[in-house]
Amino acid sequence: MKSKLIILIIFVMSLFVLIPSEVKAYNDTKNENIVTVASIVESSSSGVPDYVGNGKDICDTTLTDFIKSYWKIIMIFAPALAILMISVDFFKAITSSDADLLKKAASSALKRTLAFILLLFLPFILNTLFGWFGLEICF
């Protein structure tokens, strides 16, 4: 139960990286009053409409620096926290001399390790998923 909660917290924290600080919309036609369906259908070569923009338009240097510094903090604390929690679980299991508790500690250690590996590869996974749609993200 605790490991599911921790995984959920890490997942929710990682979603904050993707939330833009400012959203801008613009009209890609010369007429300021009307956006026609035809202007939406015309799109860039990637298949994404021009009004969506790309990562360079959305991510300025301030936002990119903020995300990189936030990600560095996560990458420092995540392995330390995982190692600490795994060590505490195994310490409890060894001191109690309970075989079931040792099996549970091993199971939770595996789950925490997999969650950390997923967190480690999160930028690659997100870049790949967004790249399929012709979009870029800020890290």
Q: Give 66-122 pLDDT, tens digit per residue.
A: 888 888 898 889 999 999 999 999 999 999 888 899 999 999 999 999 999 999 898
3-class DSSP assignment, residue 128: helix
Name residue 49's beta-bridge partners: 43
Burial, 34: exposed, middle or buried (Cβ in 10 Å; 0-12, 13-18, 19+)? exposed
As a whole number of angstroms, the distance between CA 69 and CA 51 comes to 29
Report the SS3 class of residue 49.
strand
Q: How far is CA 79 from the centre of its chain?
A: 16
The number of C-alpha atoms within 13 Å of 123 and in the hemisphere containing its C-beta is: 11
Q: Give domain limits for the chain.
A: 2-27+54-132
The yes-or-no verdict on residue 41 having pLDDT over 50 is: no
Interatomic CA distance for residues 122 and 119, integer angstroms: 5
